[in-house]
Chain A
Amino acid sequence: DAGITQSPRYKITETGRQVTLMCHQTWSHSYMFWYRQDLGHGLRLIYYSAAADITDKGEVPDGYVVSRSKTENFPLTLESATRSQTSVYFCASSDLRTPQPQHFGDGTRLSIL
């Protein structure tokens, strides 16, 4: 089915480990996004991408790395996980001509011990 899928759905890891969250969309949307959602903060943009090989920082990019070698994939890597990065991470995509997310994945719940 067409859509946007995230993996894994749940992840538990330890501080200092590298973690990669995957995001795949089948619509060929130009824009893709990564958000984190925490109580009291709502959704905050980490990074977004306007097209393959084009990425930009969002509101809270520190400690995260993204890449977009193919239009359909937009992985998010935590290079050295910290407890403050425990959160629910949402990937999103958009076929609008501006970076406004339309379609969200089901999220990855990441716990860092």
Chain B
Amino acid sequence: EDKVVQSPLSLVVHEGDTVTLNCSYEVTNFRSLLWYKQEKKAPTFLFMLTSSGIEKKSGRLSSILDKKELFSILNITATQTGDSAVYLCAVYNNNDMRFGAGTRLTVKP
């Protein structure tokens, strides 16, 4: 059965720290991997990754995909309290999109 596993489940850091969130997957017919940020309400789309080794970057956030080892990482540098959220990873194959359970990041002042 297809699955997406995120780690850690939760993480507490202080402002200024750098964090790495992990997403591993086992899906048939992989097409893409997506990252979202969910604060109190709706998930917000961050990145879509389709090719191995190509880093996607947006400000302090970056992500990369390894299709050989079947995982992706999301890096956040110089964390701020506004980065506190649940970060969701999702993997799309030809028919379906599976979400991981998310990593809850808390950034303390």
A residues contacting B by CB (< 8 A) are: 40-45, 58-59, 90, 96, 98-107
With both beta carbons as reference points, the residue of chain B lying nearest to A99 in the complex is identified as B97
6 shortest interchain CB distances as A-B pairs: A104-B42, A43-B99, A42-B99, A106-B41, A42-B101, A102-B45
B96 contacts A by Cβ under 8 Å: yes
Whole-angstrom distance between the alpha carbons of A72 and B32 in the complex? 26
What is B's interface to A at a CB cutoff of 8 Å? 31-32, 34, 41-45, 48, 88, 90, 92, 96-102
Contact of B97 among A45, A90, A105 (CB under 8 A): A45
- Residues of chain B contacted by A42 (CB below 8 angstroms): 88, 99-102
Chain A contact residues: helix, strand, loop or mixed: loop
A90/B99 in contact, CB under 8 A: no
Cβ-closest chain B residue relative to A105: B42
User: With A43-B90, A98-B31, A98-B92 given, is the CB distance from A103 to B97 under 8 Å?
Assistant: no
CB distance from A53 to the nearest CB of B (A): 20
Question: B40 to chain A: closest CB distance in Å?
Answer: 9
Main secondary structure of the interface of B (DSSP, over half): strand
Known: A43-B88, A43-B90, A107-B41. A100 touches B34 (CB 8 A): yes
Assess whether B101 is in contact with A41, with CB atoms less than 8 Å apart.
Answer: yes
Contact yes or no, B99 A44, CB < 8 A: yes
Residues A90 and B42 in contact in the complex (CB < 8 Å), given A59-B96, A100-B92: yes
A15→B99 CA distance, assembly (Å)? 28
Please give the distance in Å from A16's CB to the nearest CB on chain B: 29
Bound CA span A88–B31, Å: 27
Q: Nearest chain-A residue to B101 (Cβ)?
A: A42
Docked pose: A104 CA to B41 CA in angstroms: 9
B45 x A103 contact (CB < 8 A): yes
For residue B23, give the distance in angstroms from its CB to the closest CB of chain A: 12
